[in-house]
Amino acid sequence: MWRSDLIMCCDHCCAHETSCITSVPVFKGMDEADLQQLQKVTRSRSFDKGEFIFREGERSETLFVVNNGLIKLTKMSSEGKEQIVRLLFPGDFFGLFSLLKQENHYMNAEAVGSSTVICYIEKKDFLNIMEKNAGLSYRFLLAVNDRLYEADESVGFLSLMEVEQRLARALILFHDKMNAKNGVFTLPITKKDLASYIGTTPESVSRKLLSFVSQKLISMNGRRQIQILEVDQLKKIAGIS
């Protein structure tokens, strides 16, 4: 739950709030006056690794935006097994279900890194700005449509693809989202979480990574640093055109 003593509020535009507004694609194209109004109602808060932004069953009337770090959205099975439904990177927004439908969150949102910063906008402020900005409303609608497409694609991602394909797709995602230089990036999540994300076991993830190394598709330095050597070939395996 939110703790007011950890919320960073400003009488002027803070760096976190400003960068949130400028980094989220849905806010691109707004005129200066609207941007300033949005910045005035945007706040931010830091989260430690393992801290929850919200838990399943809680309610909040808030739009959340990842400013820095990584968020995992998870569901828990009746047996207590965690399934990672989605990973959120800087610029991604979440909390739409509770925001728009006034219902409880149906997933957990947990900070993965130790320096995660979340910006947030209360529903009344966000809707007020949306009503005054047709362009923003349209882009927001498109973004929601993209989210639905990604959700549908994710179903096929888990049910129709082999583990090798799912792992290749996850590596390409990390490569692109983390702006890897020379193809090099550090896995932002543990192998256990990666296994949960692609619907397999940590042992299977390790075997498939070694297989990619032997095929000279990737190289590994330590347990989590990866360099993609053959991006096009990995995309082919992942089914990404």
Q: What is the pLDDT of residues 98-129, one digit of tens each?
A: 777 778 888 999 999 878 999 999 988 888 88
**What local confidence, expressed as pLDDT, does residue 153 receive?**
63
Contact 92, 119 (CB under 8 A): no
Residue 39: pLDDT above 80? yes
**What local confidence, expressed as pLDDT, does residue 78 receive?**
79
**What local confidence, expressed as pLDDT, does residue 158 receive?**
60
Q: What is the pLDDT of residues 42-92, one digit of tens each?
A: 999 999 999 999 999 998 889 899 999 999 999 988 788 889 989 999 888
How far, CA to CA in Å, does 100 sit from each of 4, 97, 105? 23, 6, 11
104-113, 147-156, 171-180: lowest mean pLDDT where? Answer: 147-156
Q: What is the mean pLDDT of residues 14-22?
A: 70
The arrangement of strands across the sheet holding 184-186 comes to 184-186, 225-228, 218-221
* pLDDT cut 90: percent of the chain above it: 45
Find tokens 């543990």 and name the residue: 190
